[in-house]
Structure formats: structure tokens, C-alpha cells
């Protein structure tokens, strides 16, 4: 019987340590409560050129002032120090900066067909709420996630470095189970997209806005729209924390800055809109069994080497 050398045990101990380290969960360093602390206006490094994209809920249909969530969210962003220019091919609502691309009754495929007319504006942030009409019309609900996936690919390919906030659907009282089905597909899609490092964050509208906050079983009440602003705001903060947000590109109509004069024209208020308190659920992730991250590979690798070492050791015993 042959004595095992001390080197064997040192190597083995190192491998066990590596295994434990690589298998332990990655600890987030984003827990600083002061990250989202209040700051003076115009303190962020670049403006947000925001495209609100979707259907009637994006437009703010059935809201008294026609602004829906958009005015609340814009005010919150200004209050937090972001310069903001909302863009889109439509203008609705009493707010000054009232551009958007929310088309009444449109499904995902119709929004996708329209997308090519938007890309020249190169938004660095897209707020995407689409699919409610697919649910209401019972239109190929099984493949709604696939259609959304194609739209995301088109937007990411044609608007480099843009960040997309993908909204799950608010309740609808007509085909609620189809809405839930689509939201579930979006969560899976988001998990896959995030796993491949796409600049995408989920805004989970499906739980905060309740049934009694709808005026016609589809469109939110004033309180519901304000809660939507809270959910978007939480998602935008998440995108900022994750380092997704990038300065907007210069285009033929924008040079990437907003002059003070222009800003004054666009602003309604930069005061605290006092959005309803909201804590977002964690972003969706794919299951560990499909884990192909570096730590997952390390883990497998070290386990494999240890098994070989044990075999060698047994051979010598």
C-alpha cells in the first residue's frame, strides 16, 4: 500500500474550496439603500429618450387627462434627476412631453409592423406594454411570447444598446386567463433574454394593479395608472443599477442633449409625484439545471477533477 503524498491532500483541499466557492450563490452588491436616494434635478449623466410603446394603455386611454401612466412616470424621473424626452409618432394627453406610440386596439404583430417607423428616433429606453389585445381577441395566444421575442430582436438589432422594459399584462376582465398565459410567456422570455445579457428588465404589472382599479375591465383607473408608473419606475431603477442605461445616440433630429430651454418646454412638474410605494419581485431567472454560467461550469469542472483524483487515489490504495 502506497502512502498518499501531502501534495495530493493540498490539491484536494484547494479543489473542495473552489467547489464551495463556485457553488455558492453570487451575492448582489446592489443592496445599498442610498442608491436610489433623492438627488437634485439634472444630476444623471445623460438624458433618457423614452419610447412608450404599445396600445391604448400606453396612450392613457380612459384617463381623464389622457396621460395615463406617462405624466406620473416622467415627473418621477425628473424628480430623480433624469433629463427626459418622450418620443413616438403620436401625441395624446395634456402633458407637454406627450409623444408616445400607444395605438388603440393594436396587437403585438401590428406594433411590430409599425416598429420600423420608430427606429430612426433611437430611444435609449423603451417601455413596452403589448399583448392585451392579443388576449382580448384570443389571437394566437400560444405564440404571443414568440411574437414578442421577434419584436425584441428587431428592436435590439436596430437600436443598439437600447434598454427595453417589458411589461407583463395588467388584468383584463374579458379573457383574464389568456392575459395570464401571455404574462407567463413574457416572464420565461425575459429570463432567457436576461441570461444572454440582453438589456431587458421585466416590469410586472400583473399583480400590483388590481381588478377594482380598472374602469372598463381593461383600462386602469387614475389610481391604477399611477400604480403603473410605480412599477415602471422600479424597473427603470433596476436597469440603472444593472448598468444597462446608455447615452442616447445622435440622430438627424436629436444630438443627444436637451437644452435647458427645451427642457422647460417639456416639463410640467419636477416635484415629487408621490408614487404609491411598490417593491418589485426579483427579476426572472432560468432554472439552475439549465445554468451555463461560468460558476456553473467551474463547479462541474472541479467536481470532475476531484472524481479523477479519487479514482487515482483508490488505484494506489
Ligand X SMILES: *[C@@H]1O[C@H](CO)[C@@H](O)[C@H](O)[C@H]1NC(C)=O
Binding site for ligand X (CB under 6 A): 32-34, 66, 90-92, 160-161, 246, 255, 257, 259, 286-287, 290
Least Cα distance to 233 among 82, 46, 62 occurs for: 82
What's the closest the beta carbon of residue 14 comes to ligand X, in angstroms? 32
Instruction: Provide the minimum distance between the beta carbon of 107 and ligand X in the complex, in angstroms, as a whole number.
Output: 18
Residue closer to ligand X, measured from CB, 19 or 86: 86
CB of 289 to ligand X, least distance (A): 6
- DSSP-assigned letter for residue 128: E
Q: Which is nearer to ligand X, 182 or 190 (CB)?
A: 190
Q: How far is the CB of 22 from ligand X (least distance, A)?
A: 20
> Which of 91, 146 has the CB closer to ligand X?
91
Q: Where are the alpha helices (DSSP H) in 93-221?
A: 108-114, 132-136, 144-158, 176-195, 205-208
| Residues with Cβ within 8 Å of residue 7, at least 6 apart in sequence | none
Nearer to ligand X, 279 or 287 (CB): 287
User: Which residues, at least 6 apart from 87, have a Cβ–Cβ distance to it below 8 Å?
Assistant: 49, 50, 51, 99, 121, 123
Q: Which residue is nearest to ligand X (CB)?
A: 160
Nearer to ligand X, 34 or 279 (CB): 34
The DSSP symbol for 284 reads P
CB nearer to ligand X: give 109 or 246: 246
- CB of 117: closest distance to ligand X in angstroms? 14
CB 287 to ligand X: min, Å = 5
**C-alpha–C-alpha distance, residues 260 and 63, integer Å:** 30
First to last CA, the chain: 5
| Phi, psi for residue 121 in degrees, rounded to 5 | -85, -10
SS (H, E, C) 46-108: CCEEEEEEECHHHHCCCCCCCCCCHHHHHHHHHHCCCCEEECCCEECCCCCCCEEEECCCCCH
Amino acid at each position: 500500500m502506497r502512502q498518499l503524498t501531502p501534495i495530493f491532500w493540498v490539491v484536494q483541499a484547494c479543489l473542495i474550496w473552489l467547489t464551495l466557492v463556485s457553488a455558492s450563490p453570487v451575492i448582489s452588491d446592489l443592496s445599498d439603500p442610498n442608491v436610489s436616494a433623492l438627488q437634485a434635478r439634472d444630476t444623471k449623466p445623460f438624458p433618457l429618450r423614452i419610447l412608450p410603446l404599445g396600445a391604448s394603455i400606453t396612450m392613457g386611454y380612459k384617463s381623464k387627462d389622457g396621460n395615463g401612466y406617462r405624466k406620473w412616470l416622467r415627473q418621477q424621473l425628473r424628480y430623480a434627476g433624469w433629463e427626459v424626452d418622450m418620443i413616438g409618432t403620436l401625441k395624446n394627453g395634456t402633458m407637454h412631453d406627450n409623444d408616445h406610440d400607444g395605438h388603440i386596439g393594436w396587437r403585438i404583430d401590428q406594433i411590430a409592423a409599425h416598429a420600423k417607423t420608430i427606429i430612426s428616433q433611437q430611444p435609449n429606453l423603451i417601455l413596452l406594454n403589448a399583448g392585451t389585445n392579443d388576449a382580448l381577441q384570443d389571437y394566437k395566444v400560444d405564440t404571443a411570447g414568440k411574437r414578442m421575442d421577434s419584436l425584441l430582436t428587431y428592436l435590439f438589432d436596430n437600436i443598439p444598446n437600447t434598454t427595453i422594459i417589458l411589461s407583463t399584462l395588467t388584468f383584463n376582465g374579458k379573457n383574464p386567463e389568456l392575459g395570464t398565459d401571455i404574462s407567463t410567456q413574457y416572464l420565461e422570455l425575459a429570463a432567457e433574454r436576461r441570461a444572454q445579457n440582453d438589456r431587458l428588465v421585466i416590469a410586472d404589472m400583473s399583480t400590483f394593479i388590481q381588478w377594482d382599479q380598472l374602469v372598463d375591465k381593461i383600462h386602469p383607473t387614475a389610481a391604477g395608472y399611477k400604480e403603473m408608473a410605480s412599477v415602471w419606475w422600479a424597473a427603470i431603477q433596476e436597469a440603472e443599477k444593472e448598468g444597462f442605461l446608455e447615452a442616447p445616440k445622435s440622430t438627424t433630429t436629436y444630438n443627444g442633449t436637451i437644452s435647458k430651454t427645451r427642457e422647460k418646454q417639456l416639463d410640467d412638474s419636477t416635484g415629487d409625484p408621490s408614487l404609491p410605494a411598490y417593491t418589485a419581485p426579483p427579476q426572472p431567472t432560468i432554472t439552475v439545471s439549465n445554468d451555463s454560467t461560468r460558476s456553473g461550469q467551474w463547479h462541474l469542472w472541479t467536481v470532475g477533477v476531484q472524481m479523477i483524483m479519487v479514482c487515482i487515489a483508490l488505484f494506489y490504495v
